């Protein structure tokens, strides 16, 4: 069983739609990372959060530590948001466990 589960695996949306990507984890953590992997393969960090909510532009990340669940929302989605979104949690001593990713395609 993976320590980090994401849903959905694939998501197709029309431009302008509100997007939600979910992440559930089985280990106790104090922080969670959301990453974005571009179609070209590069990976960038979007958020690191340990409680509540963080907002960056049209991206919003929430986390519920008690329920071991985090969501990434994209408002007013745009084709340039098309990417793979990955959540990751620290695991043990300096290890990190990653979800398999959610592939988002936003159509114009």
Interface residues with other proteins (CB under 8 A)?
2, 4, 30-31, 33, 35, 41-45, 48, 86, 88, 90, 94-101
- Cβ atoms of residues 71 and 23 within 8 Å: yes
Sorted by sequence, the CB contacts under 8 Å of residue 50 that are 6+ apart come out as 30, 31, 32, 63, 65
CB of 58 to other proteins, least distance (A): 19
Question: Whose Cβ is closer to other proteins: residue 66's or residue 94's?
Answer: 94
Across the chain, which distance is largest between two alpha carbons, in Å? 44
CB of 16 to other proteins, least distance (A): 29
CB of 24 to other proteins, least distance (A): 13
- Which neighbouring-strand residues pair with 62? 53, 71
Question: Whose Cβ is closer to other proteins: residue 32's or residue 106's?
Answer: 32
Q: Hey, how many other C-beta atoms are within 10 angstroms of the C-beta on 40?
A: 6
CB of 30 to other proteins, least distance (A): 7
């Amino acid at each position: 069983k993976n320590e980090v589960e994401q849903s959905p695996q694939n998501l197709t949306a029309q431009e302008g739609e509100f997007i939600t990507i979910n992440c559930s984890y089985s280990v106790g953590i104090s922080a969670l990372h959301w990453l974005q992997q571009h179609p070209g393969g590069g990976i960038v960090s979007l958020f690191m959060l340990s409680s509540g909510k963080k907002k960056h532009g049209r991206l919003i990340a929430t986390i519920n530590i008690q329920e071991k669940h985090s969501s990434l929302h994209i408002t007013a989605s745009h084709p340039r948001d098309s990417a793979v979104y990955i959540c990751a949690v620290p695991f043990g001593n300096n290890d990190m466990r990653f979800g398999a990713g959610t592939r988002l395609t936003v159509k114009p």
